[in-house]
Structure 1
């Protein structure tokens, strides 16, 4: 039997816990998935590391002048392809221009939903990188982690946020 004195203070304790965000019902934790191995062709994976049944591939790349801003000089123009995407909403992966040591020179997220459907069922697209040193590009790599799901963080929403998030997009200078 719980003493009446303890029962009388219980509602106040629950209110304090709820307001402080420390309630057991509202416990919130953020974790970041481990970054997968970058490659020219990758199997896209969710935050648990499981394959989504989709592959992403860098089809080709070259340095050239962007037709809309020729005064800016050479930029990196690359083409990519997603295979196994079902419907119009699919995964996204980070694409990174790297040097010979696989150090990121610049990265951006490419979305299968922004690519165009091809007759063979794949989705193809292209993008441009403005890089400080485009002449140092040795290849363009994709990181297999799906970036399409933007889950709210605990900081944004302590009640509904949290969980495992995709790894951050690499910054210039990070080795892949």
Structure 2
């Protein structure tokens, strides 16, 4: 008899909580933004595909050994310039070395620190380790801001997670 009363009572409590807006199940959804078109110069967009107020441009690239690990052979040394006032973000974009058919040979997320509120410029550089550096035809940037990549998901935190997340960094062999 005690079990029956507890189950009946639990149903009433759940109904009251649901009707009062205090449901036990959080409405948490995750989604991924659609990847933008990769180019040498891009206007960075947030996860809602709104312009972030910052552009990024590949300033150049070349094959050369990384100075700290020259024994690993040639890598792709590239530069990226970030410009703009932004909307309160420290932007980050994926830089990808591609072959002549725009097949990804390697990617890396590149971060910038801009002085927001004023138009400003920040130049960063990096090295991409690729299997066949001689096949690299260009370095492209993907316009999606990656700075919020570490946001919690519904799986991590049902109450505070969720929302739109940046697209995954392209993998080797993907075509941009």
Q: Common fold, TM-score beyond 0.5?
A: yes
Following TM superposition, by how much is the alpha carbon of 1:82 offset from its aligned partner in structure 2, in angstroms?
A: 0.1
Kindly tell me the number of residue pairs found equivalent between the two proteins: 161
Matched residue, 1:64 = 64
Superposition pairs of residues 137-176 of structure 1, within 5 angstroms: 137-149=136-148, 150-176=150-176
Following TM superposition, by how much is the alpha carbon of 1:65 offset from its aligned partner in structure 2, in angstroms?
A: 1.5
Note closer, same or farther for the CA distance 1:35–1:24 as it changes in structure 2 (3 Å cut): farther
Q: Distance in 2 between matches of 1:48 and 1:35?
A: 11
Q: Distance in 1 between matches of 2:165 and 2:24?
A: 22
Following TM superposition, by how much is the alpha carbon of 1:74 offset from its aligned partner in structure 2, in angstroms?
A: 0.8
Superposition pairs of residues 1-176 of structure 1, within 5 angstroms: 8=9, 9-11=11-13, 23=23, 26-85=26-85, 90-113=90-113, 121-149=120-148, 150-176=150-176
Q: Distance in 1 between matches of 2:87 and 2:72?
A: 37
Following TM superposition, by how much is the alpha carbon of 1:121 offset from its aligned partner in structure 2, in angstroms?
A: 3.1
Note closer, same or farther for the CA distance 1:89–1:164 as it changes in structure 2 (3 Å cut): closer
**Contact kept in structure 2, 1:76 and 1:130, CA below 8 Å:** yes
What SS does the aligned partner of 2:75 have?
A: strand
Q: Distance in 1 between matches of 2:44 and 2:87?
A: 16
> Alignment RMSD, CA only?
2.6
What SS does the aligned partner of 1:77 have?
A: strand
What SS does the aligned partner of 1:135 have?
A: helix
**TM-score (normalizing by structure 1):** 0.83
